[in-house]
Amino acid sequence: MTYQVFDTTLRDGAQREGISYSVVDKLAVARLLDEFGVGFIEGGWPGAMPKDTEFFARARTELQLRNAVLVAFGATRKANVDVTRDPQVQALLDAETPVVCVVAKSDIRHVERALRTTGEENLAMVRDTVAHLVANGRRAFVDCEHFFDGFRYDPDYTASVVRTAFEAGAERVVMCDTNGGMLPSMITAAVQDVVARTGVGADRLGIHCQNDTSCAVANTVAAVEAGVKHFQCTANGYGERPGNADLFAVVSNLQLKLGLKVLPDGCLEKATRVSTALAEIANIAPDTHQAYVGAAAFAHKAGLHASAIKVDPLLYNHVDPSVVGNDMRILVTEMAGRASIELKSRELGLDLAGHPDTLTAVTRKVKDLEAGGWSFEAADASFELLVRGELPDADFVRPFALESYRVQVEHREDGSVVSEATVKVRVRGERVIATAEGNGPVNALDEALRVALSKHYPELKSFELADFKVRILEGSHGSNAITRVLVETSDGARDWTTVGVHENVVEASWKALTDALTFGLARTAANAGQGSAA
Amino acid sequence: MTYQVFDTTLRDGAQREGISYSVVDKLAVARLLDEFGVGFIEGGWPGAMPKDTEFFARARTELQLRNAVLVAFGATRKANVDVTRDPQVQALLDAETPVVCVVAKSDIRHVERALRTTGEENLAMVRDTVAHLVANGRRAFVDCEHFFDGFRYDPDYTASVVRTAFEAGAERVVMCDTNGGMLPSMITAAVQDVVARTGVGADRLGIHCQNDTSCAVANTVAAVEAGVKHFQCTANGYGERPGNADLFAVVSNLQLKLGLKVLPDGCLEKATRVSTALAEIANIAPDTHQAYVGAAAFAHKAGLHASAIKVDPLLYNHVDPSVVGNDMRILVTEMAGRASIELKSRELGLDLAGHPDTLTAVTRKVKDLEAGGWSFEAADASFELLVRGELPDADFVRPFALESYRVQVEHREDGSVVSEATVKVRVRGERVIATAEGNGPVNALDEALRVALSKHYPELKSFELADFKVRILEGSHGSNAITRVLVETSDGARDWTTVGVHENVVEASWKALTDALTFGLARTAANAGQGSAA
């Protein structure tokens, strides 16, 4: 029997603080999850959430899934209501998904105190709902809420919910660690006990873990090791409280550590890209320290390691980063020595092995700048400009020089807020003054600079400010804070990131912006040169 | 035999991307860890890192530890060098700590390829170094690097390193999952195998896990369940790549889930406060989703849960949040309905149960604002101002009204950058115009506003801007981005957080700043009123 990779990023994952998907977002998330090769995509709760109802309606015409089937999530029928007259159950059928997953109470205390009904009626609710879904041609999965607490408190009752669901025709019954309090050893013991007490094979059970003990991934893996073949995860572990089991870590562990085939061929390599894309859609900064897929997951910092890594990378990585589509990035930091800087430069196509003096100069400069709050870890383009500026045979010339700028933000009496910037720069021997407005001080500055440079560098038009991140350093006293700005720029084909640091957020932004344009123009010039030479 | 809680936040944890402690930071970290009740604080690598040498020197006079002893970290002696003549080993003794922890190679491949010496010489290095430390009155711990990979590849060699260390007088030998590739079931099996092969009791072994499979906490717990009594963690899981095992999750799991006493009485309750303080010192935004200690660890969002929680909180939390010093915070979000808003207001001391119209108005307003990018999840003070503004019997009056402001940032020809702001406000019927400079546009605006209000509200002097966070929303196109600013203000006794949202960072900051001052002044007035009534 094959494994069922069940993703609930769009339902349970959407409960994470700060996440709010539009319907278009949800469609994009589903496409990415399908590309990653999950078998089931739980899309939401039709009927309860208007956006979810719309998602399922649009999915019928707008989603072409290759690997996954869509799942509508809902609850068992209300107590003391005919299942055919329960509008919430009807909404599940109206979603027209091949699979429906219903949540059921399986802890007798929740039945009596939260649902305020009897154990018998709760069993009838499970039985009626599952039978109704199956009679209407649906595959029915049952999520047993607070399963492990319920099973510990009253194993007979919880076991009776499991048996009732299967008797009514459920395909899977999922053991949910709803409050996330379990440890792996407890999961192992519980699965064995559930199998013994219900007579249901572990391969017909599912697992759904929350991360409240920081063990959601390990708990999910433990359940699979105990014979469970259906596991519910969310991308990047998004979910309520500390979140859910992270899809990427669970799948990577199962495939790479336990040798289980849970995804179609060629999918695991997409993990890093899909993880980052889903973070962007969720509008959550990607967790650089995430296992397997984080930007720092295979990044080596300490000078000790960096010099040894040159000898034999696989001595230091637990898996080859490329199997999850990741990279062994070398960080440039105060702890890193010459070896790191050399490796990093080589990554960027700059061989410093033959330039020991340049290597010394760059190493010293990086250490000095980082002592002042700069960070090149995420700003490869600024690092490359720094190295190129130190190379002896530099044909590299900065495309413009600043004389001065002035930015103004006004909140007027009528409530309007306006920003205006004036820059004075020298471009190819010419002194240019330009003024522009913007929706904020940095935008105004960016616009004014573009106006000033557009005559000499029309290619600037294709550069777009793709992301702008502000970080306040030394945050313990607002007034002494240093601001670090990261700017990501795109020319449609390629992205690059630059950094600026200053106590003034406008000046920090200016530095990052000028690096961004300088880097982009230098690259365009180099490409043009290559083109004509070829 | 009691458990050894060994913290390496200051050594292995400091390898996390972005962390750079000053010596003063290190002293503050050590004090907090001691307060949390760890038994061992690994302070750094004296000799190798100048800041670490200074830390140990100052610690002798400036640190009074109640629970912990300091540990100096280093390596075994160099190959083919007399241990008494190895300056790195001498630096460990010079640190004058009661315990020294030395890292040793225990994977024969690393011995031969990275260290470039023989297995025999590596054993001699372990033997000589441990014996030398013990002869000089130190307790010696040995960190076996890449232990599990080495043990899998050549169990005899790795076992010989363990035996050699103990024969030379080591108190503990620590199994390090250096590249973090293990799963809990593998740890359980390996510990049993190591005990069988070396004849060393599990209680004399230690465990150190990296988080590359997202299982560091679970792996550490699994080792303890297998009989290991010494475990190495870092606060908040800081460390290289995906980090180390999180001290707070490991300790909470062991005490609360397995009933093991690993901390002195009264310490676990400090987990949340110590975790946050350590994040501040590391200058890393606290992970709100961290297990046990994150701000969202016990936060409930879904409307479903919030209404049930009113009935019985312990049905929904895996532990009582107060045992780790945390709180059951109710989030105000688009998914939350009236029940959440009512509970949240009650948390803030505002009873809306008797004001159904206000509750409706607040719920609608919150939904509208959150649709526009506002977020009250972290901004209790702004939420409280919003509720108070809707209450029918509001005695609450905003202390000032804005007419207009103007902020200017200039980068002059001489390279200097200056910021200046002018505000025009109405305060208690008077029109006030004030101008001030600042080190950035927001600081200048803050200063100008304080000048304008100081005559009528001298108590403003005690308010300090404690933190300032900028978040760019909808980051996919820089020009359409909305900026959300969170401002944390302190009056020395109490902190409060306010929020402002606008496409212009200056205006967003202005909104958060004015809420911050308004909230602080209203509170001061209320306290003064209470004082005179008593």
Q: Where do the DSSP E strands lie in B50-98?
A: 69-75
Nearest to A312 among B113, B333, B442 (CB): B113
A242 to B280: CB separation less than 8 angstroms, yes or no: no
Residue B465 pLDDT > 60: yes
Residue B479 pLDDT > 70: no
Query: What's the pLDDT score for residue A304?
Result: 53
What percent of chain A shows pLDDT beyond 70? 92
Chain B residues within an 8 Å CB radius of A297: 212, 241-242
Compare all CA atoms of chain B with the CA of A504 and give the residue at the minimum distance.
Answer: B440
Residue A332 pLDDT > 60: no
Topology adopted by domain B8-282: TIM Barrel (3.20.20)
Residue B453 pLDDT > 90: yes
A241 to B315: CB separation less than 8 angstroms, yes or no: no
ipTM of the complex: 0.72
Q: How far is A146 from chain B (nearest CA, A)?
A: 9
Query: What's the pLDDT score for residue A315?
Result: 79
Phi, psi angle pair for A338, to nearest 5°: -60, -40
Task: Round to whole Å and give the CA distance between B135 and B141.
Answer: 14
Residue with the two structure tokens 């402002």: B500
Residue with the two structure tokens 């960080």: A331
**Pick among A241, A326, A502 to test the B interface (most B CBs inside 10 A):** A241
Task: Round to whole Å and give the CA distance between A486 and A511.
Answer: 10
Domain A400-456 has CATH 1.10.10: no
Task: Round to whole Å and give the CA distance between A82 and A77.
Answer: 8
Q: How far is A410 from chain B (nearest CA, A)?
A: 4
Mean pLDDT of B257-269: 97
- The helix/strand/coil state of B393 is coil
Q: What is the DSSP secondary-structure string of B140-151?
A: EEEEEETHHHHH
Query: What's the pLDDT score for residue A492?
Result: 76
Task: Round to whole Å and give the CA distance between A450 and A292.
Answer: 40
Residue B304 pLDDT > 60: no
Compare all CA atoms of chain A with the CA of B328 and give the residue at the minimum distance.
Answer: A241
Query: What's the pLDDT score for residue A523?
Result: 81
Model pLDDT for residues A232-241, shown as the tens digit of each residue = 999 999 999 9
Q: How far is B125 from chain A (nearest CA, A)?
A: 18
Query: What's the pLDDT score for residue A477?
Result: 41
Query: What's the pLDDT score for residue B399?
Result: 87
Model pLDDT for residues A41-88, shown as the tens digit of each residue = 999 999 888 889 999 999 999 999 999 999 999 999 999 999 999 999
At residue B81, what is the residue type? V
B15 to A316: CB separation less than 8 angstroms, yes or no: no
User: Which contacts qualify for A315-322: CB closer than 8 Å, 24 or more apart?
Assistant: A315/B109, A315/B110, A315/B113, A315/B114, A315/B146, A316/B179, A317/B179, A318/B179, A318/B180, A318/B181, A318/B212, A318/B213, A319/A252, A319/A256, A319/A292, A319/B181, A321/A297, A322/A269
Query: What's the pLDDT score for residue A425?
Result: 96
B27-36, B83-92, B247-256, B383-392: least confident range = B383-392
Band of residue A479 on the pLDDT scale cut at 50, 70, 90: very low
Task: Round to whole Å and give the CA distance between A174 and A504.
Answer: 54
Sign, CA torsion A300/A303/A306/A308? negative
Residue A137 pLDDT > 70: yes
Task: Round to whole Å and give the CA distance between B295 and B244.
Answer: 21
A406 to B410: CB separation less than 8 angstroms, yes or no: yes
Model pLDDT for residues A258-298, shown as the tens digit of each residue = 999 999 999 999 999 899 889 877 877 789 899 999 988 98
- Check: CB of residue B381 under 8 Å from CB of residue B519: yes
Query: What's the pLDDT score for residue B312?
Result: 73
- Mean pLDDT of all residues belonging to chain B: 89
Task: Round to whole Å and give the CA distance between A362 and A342.
Answer: 10
Model pLDDT for residues A309-321, shown as the tens digit of each residue = 666 777 788 999 9
- Quick one: CATH architecture of A4-282? Alpha-Beta Barrel (3.20)
The secondary structure of residue B316, as a DSSP letter, is T
**Pick among B49, B148, B289 to test the A interface (most A CBs inside 10 A):** B289
Residue A196 pLDDT > 60: yes
Token readout for B172 is 């503990």
Cα A341 to chain centroid, rounded: 28
Mean pLDDT of A502-525: 90
Model pLDDT for residues B76-101, shown as the tens digit of each residue = 999 999 999 999 999 999 999 999 99
Task: Round to whole Å and give the CA distance between B190 and B188.
Answer: 6
Would you say the CATH fold of B463-534 matches that of B400-456?
yes
More confident residue, A89 or B429: A89
Chain B residues within an 8 Å CB radius of A113: 311-312, 315
Nearest to A242 among B225, B243, B289 (CB): B289
Topology adopted by domain B463-534: Double Stranded RNA Binding Domain (3.30.160)
Mean pLDDT of A18-47: 91
At residue A230, what is the residue type? H
Domain boundaries, chain A: 4-282, 303-388, 400-456
Query: What's the pLDDT score for residue A236?
Result: 98
Task: Round to whole Å and give the CA distance between B62 and A162.
Answer: 61
A415-429, B167-181, B190-204, B317-331: least confident range = B317-331
Task: Round to whole Å and give the CA distance between B204 and B200.
Answer: 7
Task: Round to whole Å and give the CA distance between A432 and A450.
Answer: 11
Q: What is the DSSP secondary-structure string of A124-186?
A: HHHHHHHHHHHHTT-EEEEEEETHHHHHHH-HHHHHHHHHHHHHTT-SEEEEEETT----HHH
Query: What's the pLDDT score for residue A77?
Result: 97
Mean pLDDT of B135-159: 97
B95 CB contacts (<8 Å, ≥6 apart)? B43, B46, B53, B56, B70, B72
Q: How far is B289 from chain A (nearest CA, A)?
A: 4
Query: What's the pLDDT score for residue A303?
Result: 52
- Check: CB of residue B69 under 8 Å from CB of residue B109: no
Chain A residues within an 8 Å CB radius of B469: 472, 475
What are the angstrom distances between the C-alpha of B474 and each of A279, B331, B486, B492? 12, 22, 17, 35
Compare all CA atoms of chain A with the CA of B16 and give the residue at the minimum distance.
Answer: A301
Model pLDDT for residues A441-473, shown as the tens digit of each residue = 999 999 999 999 999 999 999 998 877 777 776
Residue A530 pLDDT > 90: no
Residue B57 pLDDT > 60: yes
Query: What's the pLDDT score for residue B475?
Result: 41
A221 CB contacts (<8 Å, ≥6 apart)? A184, A250, A253, A254, A258, B183, B184, B185, B215
Residue B377 pLDDT > 80: no
More confident residue, B285 or A148: A148
Task: Supply the pTM of this predicted model.
Answer: 0.72
Nearest to A479 among B146, B217, B439 (CB): B439
Query: What's the pLDDT score for residue B350?
Result: 83
Chain A residues within an 8 Å CB radius of B299: 17, 240-241
Q: How far is B416 from chain A (nearest CA, A)?
A: 9
Mean pLDDT of A372-380: 74
Band of residue A533 on the pLDDT scale cut at 50, 70, 90: very low
Task: Round to whole Å and give the CA distance between A107 and B380.
Answer: 34
Phi, psi angle pair for A392, to nearest 5°: -65, -40
Name B405's bridge partners: A411, B423
Among A69-78, B350-359, B392-401, name the most confident range.
A69-78
A184 to B317: CB separation less than 8 angstroms, yes or no: no
